[in-house]
Amino acid sequence: MAKRLILNGFVMNAVSHIHHGLWRRNDTFQTEFNDLATWTTLAKALEKAKFDALFSADIIGVDPAYKASWDTYVEEAVQIPINDSGALITALIGSTEQLGLTLTSSILQEHPFNFARKISTLDHLSKGRIGWNLVTSVSHNAAQNFGFDRIVAHDERYRWADEYIDVVYKLWEGSWDDGAVLADKAGNRYADPDKIHRIDHRGERYRVLGPHLSQPSPQRVPVLFQAGSSTAGRAFAARNAEGTYIVAQSPEGARRQIEETTRYLLQAGRRREDLKFIQGMSFIIGGTEDEAHRKARDIAEDISEDGYLAHLSRDLGIDLGLLEPDRPVHELEIQGVQGVIRAFEDANPGVTPRVKDLGRIYANAGNIVGTPESISDTLETWQQAGIDGINVSYHRLPASFIEFAEHVVPELQKRGLAQRDYAAGTYREKLFGEGAKVNSRHPAARYRGAFKNQPAPRIVEPAQ
């Protein structure tokens, strides 16, 4: 029997997320992103369709990365304005019961002690449905917003992330032993002080004495996601993540990425089944192939190529707006676009893509156009290449999700590729079918019981 696909609704609490220019259409509610009803409506629809989670991406800075300016980002709402993903996830807890809720938070934006307590609180309130997409941030402006002159070097960010995540692991797994909470009303003992410990972390960037102020939440550690595509990023994901987001341009490209990351995973002492590979895709659905392609042409009329080029410039670290528009792309030797270019050339034999074509090429990258049946056929091919799930992106909010839920999900369910109901338990239990906590192969597990011999709390005299 086919292994089911994980389905995430991939959003950003902003006007324009992945597909730019479409917020101007009359059949989308993207400009209503400040209205909680927009998001509760979406979350309830995803839960009704038995999606695994709503995943909210985030950024914390905007650089003048296109045409040496930030004007395009602001004028076309390319991920600005944007609201905090954690606040959105918090607001959606009460309107859902089974749906996983994944927020994005950077190592830049919050001290690990406070972040750990926030996550524990959300995991309690949601009864164990919280996920965390850890990012290291690539924006200079993000760094400048938190007191730095510029973003630190790439590999150094991952060294920073190693310490950050080590601190929260210690707090979540090591500070409170199992059985610390007694809730003994008759004996007037809520918790056992002998089972609560300082962590006394002293590292390069952080000093955290502890203890964790929240009692253990249903999962202790949230379900962990990371999207690194570099060597350092993949190695970090292989050590720590339970889900990793990929954006391959073909099933074969996905297979290669999965095989490469799996090598890191095995080197870290983990197993292939410990990490879920989630591919980003968008869908345009019709009752017939002709109808689907008519809808795709209609959407294509409203895209903003400048918006895509601005988005790409930021992600690639190359200001495409300053390059000669007619310059052939293959001359640029930009590793991040090569897969997309190959896919374009395969579909357009004899056509050499130029810099000015990149916006439209990226607008079509990851789009699956067809009937529910042909889309399901395509997803079966991707699944056979090794992916475990899909991040479903949107052209129209919430219409893209509603159409996928009403038309594609039933076909996937019929083929055993989508769940018909939720499994019992926490987000982690629903995804992995095992316990609520990270398994023994995960690095956080090493802190269980690790601080039992820490010195007793000491009195610290105030400074004179």
SS3 of the chain: helix, strand, coil, percent, to 5: 45, 15, 40
End-to-end CA distance of the chain: 71
- Poorest-confidence range of 21-35, 98-112, 122-136, 355-369? 355-369
Task: Indicate the pLDDT class of residue 340, thresholds 50, 70 and 90.
Answer: low
In the predicted model, is pLDDT for residue 52 greater than 80? yes
Confidence of residue 456 (pLDDT cuts 50, 70, 90): low
Average pLDDT over residues 133-148: 93
Q: Structural domain tally of the chain?
A: 1
pLDDT band at residue 194 under the 50/70/90 scheme: very high
Using 50, 70 and 90 to split pLDDT, how confident is the model at 361? confident
Establish if 146 belongs to a structural domain. yes
Does an H or E element contain 277, and which? Answer: strand 276-285
Is 335 a member of any domain? no
Interval 281-325: pLDDT, tens: 999 999 999 999 999 999 999 999 999 999 999 988 889 999 999
Give the H/E segment covering residue 311.
Answer: helix 305-316
Confidence (pLDDT) at 448: 97
CA distance 296 to 364: 9
pLDDT tens-place string over residues 426-455? 999 999 999 999 999 999 999 999 998 876
User: What angle, 0 to 180 degrees and rounded to 10, lies between the N-to-C axes of helices 36-48 and 85-92?
Assistant: 60
Mean pLDDT score of the chain? 93
243, 222, 235: which is closest to 437 by C-alpha?
222
Helix pair angle (112-125, 85-92), 10° resolution: 20
Give a yes or no: residue 464 inside a domain. no
Task: Tell me how far apart the alpha carbons of residues 132 and 168 are, in angstroms, rounded to a whole number.
Answer: 12
Q: Is residue 338 part of a domain?
A: no
Q: Which of 16-30, 360-374, 385-399 has the lowest mean pLDDT?
A: 360-374
What average pLDDT does range 184-198 have in this prediction? 98
In the predicted model, what is the mean pLDDT of residues 401-412? Answer: 98
Q: Is the pLDDT of residue 228 over 80?
A: no
Cα 417 to Cα 421: distance, rounded to the nearest angstrom: 12
In a domain, 348, yes or no: no
User: Which CATH number is 279's domain given?
Assistant: 3.20.20.30
The amino acid present at 408, given as its one-letter code, is V
Q: What pLDDT shows up at residue 463? A: 63
Percent over 90 (pLDDT), the chain? 82
CA angle 319, 299, 307 (to 5 degrees): 15
Q: Is residue 158 part of a domain?
A: yes
Per the DSSP assignment, residues forming a β-bridge with 132 are 103, 224
Angle, alpha carbons 266-269-273 (nearest 5°): 60
- The pLDDT value recorded for residue 318 is 87
Q: Could you give the CA distance from residue 171 to residue 217 in angstroms, rounded to a whole number?
A: 12
Q: Are strands 100-106 and 130-135 parallel, antiparallel or unpaired?
A: parallel
By C-alpha distance, which of 266, 269, 260, 268 is closest to 231?
A: 260
Please indicate, yes or no, if residue 463 is contained in any of the structural domains: no
Tokens coding 192: 């056992």
pLDDT at 222: 98
Residue 400 lies in a domain: yes
Select from 44, 37, 245 the least CA-distant residue to 135: 245
pLDDT exceeding 70 applies to what percent of the chain? Answer: 94
Q: Which domain holds residue 131?
A: 6-301+367-447
Confidence of residue 400 (pLDDT cuts 50, 70, 90): very high
* Residue 334 confidence (pLDDT): 65
- Buried residues in 417-454 as b, exposed as e (16+ CB within 10 A): bbbeeeeebbbbbbbbeeebbbbeebbbbebbebbeeb
What pLDDT score was predicted for residue 152?
87
- Residue 97 CA to residue 375 CA, distance in Å, equals 29
Distances (CA, A) of 334 to 89, 312, 316: 35, 11, 8
pLDDT at 357 over 60: yes
Helices (H), 170-304: 231-240, 251-267, 289-300
d(CA 373, CA 265): 34
Distance CA 262, CA 238 (A): 7
* For residue 461, pLDDT beyond 70: no
The whole-number average pLDDT for the span 361-381 is: 95
Interval 187-209 mean pLDDT = 97
